[in-house]
Structure 1
Amino acid sequence: MSQLNTIFSLDKVLNTNTDLNIEEKGILDIKYSGTVASTESDATMTGLVTRDGDYVLIELIINFKINSECSRCLKISKQEKEAYIDEKLYIKKDNDYDINFKEENIDIQPIISEKIIDSISLITLCMKDCNGLCVVCGKEQNSSVCKHIEKNLKESPFSSLSELDL
């Protein structure tokens, strides 16, 4: 499997106002906050690049799979995701992605990375009712629940504070 191609020639789009159809397959190389794009299957990117006057419009749909760490139990779960890109980039002005339209080819990797990271949630759960890890021993609580004996509060040096009448 090869890397997802993100470099395109916009010669026809810029000079003849011809649309550029994009259909690409490949591996994404994106890592973010405990989440990694899956290398087991290809990501697909389809869309269109068009010119409309002073700007280039990039419209893409990217389907991909991620391996994400559960925020509670740290188990890796696989998810299918979809990211939409609808960017208007002005040809004669600077843009946020440092894309230079004077060059022969442009690389839209920064746009793709930003939109994919936006589509990934910061808190990922392996299942809705994930119990997480045991606070005492660190064992995963989804398969079996730990039954630790709670410590007596009198053992704490601060236990006398609970008797204060505030």
Structure 2
Amino acid sequence: MELQVGRLLRERGRAEVFVTDEPCPPDLTEVGVEACRGPVHIEGRATSTGDGVLVEGRITVPVTLLCSRCLSPYPAEVEAHFQEKFVPRTRRRHRDEEEGGVPEGVEAVADEDDQVEFFENNRIDLGPLIREQLMMAVPMKGLCREECRGLCPICGQDLNQGTCQCQVEETDPRLAVLR
């Protein structure tokens, strides 16, 4: 998703609201998403700060996850909030040159502490930000329901669907060496 911010940069404090649906990023499967059940819904606001643009908003996407206890797929909705400041690359370079920090022709590099991203040609690409926020919002160990009983550690029976005949001895693992 790209934002055209040329009009915003002309007037400090000016804001624009955006709402869009985008295709689901394919690399969500790397963090445990079984499948996307719909598009990524993005709504937000872009505000001119005078030296850049502050973009904030919310992302939601319906997905199918695998339960970490019983391995059954279940529907869920991943939601993430974001806030990021974007600065025109040329404006940053000129400011550094005026301060004598970076010689002409050398591109300025942001410090690790800077919480800004750069954009060029009055276009902000939100794709990497959206992908990053969604990947961080996916639960590490999702549960189909809070009372999920999981699988039997011996036979693999789904204990939510019924019991098994396995005898599980519960021993204190600290005493296992005494066997």
Length-normalised TM-score, structure 1: 0.74
Match of 2:148, SS state, is coil
**1:22: which partner in 2?**
18
What letter matches 1:26 in structure 2?
E
Task: Provide the aligned C-alpha RMSD in A.
Answer: 2.8
Deviation track 1:23-73 (CA, whole Å, cap 9, x = no partner) reads 1013321334222452x3233211111111223100111222121111111
Cα 1:37–1:15, aligned 2, differ >3 Å: closer, same or farther? farther
Identity, in percent, stands at 26
- List alignment gaps of at least 5 residues for structure 1: 1-5, 152-158
Match of 1:146, SS state, is coil
Structure number having the greater helix percentage: 2
**2:133: which partner in 1?**
115
Deviation track 1:60-91 (CA, whole Å, cap 9, x = no partner) reads 11222121111111111111232211222344
**1:54: which partner in 2?**
51
Match of 1:31, SS state, is helix
Contact 2:34 2:63 in 1 (8 A): yes
Contact 2:32 2:138 in 1 (8 A): no
Cα 1:160–1:48, aligned 2, differ >3 Å: closer, same or farther? closer
What letter matches 2:135 in structure 1?
I
Matches of 1:64 and 1:15, distance apart in 2: 33
**2:32: which partner in 1?**
34
What is the deviation of 1:121? Answer: 1.7
Cα 1:60–1:94, aligned 2, differ >3 Å: closer, same or farther? farther
Matches of 1:116 and 1:160, distance apart in 2: 45
Matches of 1:111 and 1:59, distance apart in 2: 11
Contact 1:10 1:104 in 2 (8 A): yes
- List alignment gaps of at least 5 residues for structure 2: 93-107, 170-175
Matches of 2:83 and 2:153, distance apart in 1: 44
Matches of 1:83 and 1:126, distance apart in 2: 20
Cα 1:37–1:55, aligned 2, differ >3 Å: closer, same or farther? farther
Matches of 1:160 and 1:102, distance apart in 2: 64
